[in-house]
Amino acid sequence: MSLQHSPGIVTNGLSFYYDMYNTEKSWKGEPVTNQFICPNPYDSNNNVSFNVNGTGTFQRVYSGTYGGYTIKPTDVVYRYNLGGNGCHYHGNSAAIASGQYVCYSVDYYISPDASDYPTDSTLVVLENYGGSALGGGTGAGGNGIMGKWQTIRGYSGPTSGSGTQAMFLYPGGCGNAYMASRGFILMKNPMFEFRGDVRYNPFVNGTRSNTQAIRDLVGGNTITATSLTYNNDGTFKFDGVDDYIDSVISSGLTGTGAWTMEVWFKVNGAPSNATYGNVIVDTDATGGSANMIVVDYGGGHGGSQNQILYATRPSTGGGYTLLGGSTITQGIYYHAAVVRNGSTDTKLYINGSLNNTYSGNMPTATQPLVRIGRWTDGTVYSNTTIPTVKIYNRPLSANEVAQNFAAQRGIYGL
């Protein structure tokens, strides 16, 4: 299996892997809905009909290289031939709630043969179709650049009340105006989002749900996000109140088997229940048996404050068996790996080096659920940043753990 991310990461036996810093293959940002409907062609010439059409016709473009960029299958690209007068709007309308911003972005390319460009530089227009929706237009700014991809991005709002919001690709304005007397424009990946703050998410053709917001690099596991706190750069953290993610995996943490559980994390503060600790990963599916990497906070797991532990509980009401590690400092990233060698021993590694060993058969749980950022009985939420979690269906060697630490330590400032 090739992840094509970091050649230093061990992939043999990898059964679960998310990495919020691998933006192309794993991290996709927060759940969003693109309010701009991107229609498909309605005829053999790839002509497109939008919900609201003005003059002229957009055509869907599926291939080709323009300005050094080759159109990908995941792109939505429309071509509009320039030169005619009229009202060139094409788009749709949607209900918008009170207190919302419209944040929009679209890439565009003006053909090198465009004459008299820009006679009218209008590109995007918002219109009020009812209630307290927003209005306004944005243009290319008259920069006259042709044959090169550019991005237009902007926002309007917030709305003072609810309404019906219209959103248009609008090359060349309306009336006797035109963008250029000849040539064409390509408009790629139009994204219009209604939200309570100003933020620009990557293009989504439709809606990206909680289960799509984080992708498992292995490809066989669905990851569900619940109430995550998203940062301005699109990354997330667990706020210690109600944030967590979970996934059901087909192979990995078996109670009698051999496996590896590995995480990068940073503790930001006290968890929701300060008696216990900041849970990093927990496979406690029923409130009973559990495998858990946790940073103890108030001694609730038997450790000292800010001590990283691997804790296991074989059944409901059973006591924890602990494998204690170093005391960590809040606000600094750490790499932790628990390696279970069947009934022989269990090892805890911190920042690539062996920290502690439990000799003999440390009782563990058999659970397909991986829950990150919350103790699964719902009483403890984690106030942490947990950008990477890996689970292997085999024990990694000491050299392999060190290799994984070295492969990503530069990302986390170590």
Q: End-to-end alpha-carbon separation of the chain, Å?
A: 28
DSSP string, 171-234: TT-SSS--S-SB-EEEEEEEEEEEESS---PPP-SSEE-HHHHB--TTSS--EEEESPEEPTTS
Q: CB pairs under 8 A, 24+ apart, for 327-331?
A: 328/267, 328/295, 330/266, 330/267, 330/268, 330/269, 330/306, 331/266, 331/267, 331/268
* Torsion region of 62: left, alpha or beta (phi above 0 gives left; psi -120 to 50 gives alpha): alpha
Q: What is the pLDDT of residue 5?
A: 45
C-alpha–C-alpha distance, residues 393 and 109, integer Å:
48
Domains (range + CATH), the chain:
14-29+210-408 (2.60.120.200), 32-195 (2.60.120)
Q: Which two tokens stand for residue 344?
A: 């022989």
Residue 192: closest CA among 32, 345, 3: 32
pTM of the model: 0.79
Q: Which two tokens stand for residue 328?
A: 């960590």
Q: What is the pLDDT of residue 256?
A: 61
Are 380 and 272 spatial neighbours (Cβ–Cβ below 8 Å)? yes
Q: What is the pLDDT of residue 51?
A: 97
Amino acid at 352: G
Give the CA angle between residues 65, 67, 72 to the nearest 5°: 40
Q: What is the pLDDT of residue 142?
A: 64
Q: Read off φ and ψ for residue 125, nearest 5 degrees.
A: -135, 135
C-alpha–C-alpha distance, residues 243 and 120, integer Å:
48
Residue 284: closest CA among 346, 390, 383, 377: 377
- Digit-by-digit pLDDT tens for the chain (414 residues) are 334 444 589 999 988 899 988 877 788 888 999 999 999 999 999 999 999 999 999 999 999 999 999 999 999 999 999 998 899 999 999 999 999 999 999 999 999 999 999 999 999 999 999 999 999 988 876 678 999 999 999 999 999 999 999 999 999 988 878 899 999 999 999 999 999 999 898 899 999 998 888 888 887 788 889 888 888 777 788 999 999 998 877 655 655 678 899 999 999 999 988 888 888 887 765 555 677 888 988 877 777 888 998 887 766 556 677 888 889 999 999 999 999 888 889 999 999 999 999 898 876 666 667 889 987 667 789 999 999 999 898 999 999 999 999 999 999 999
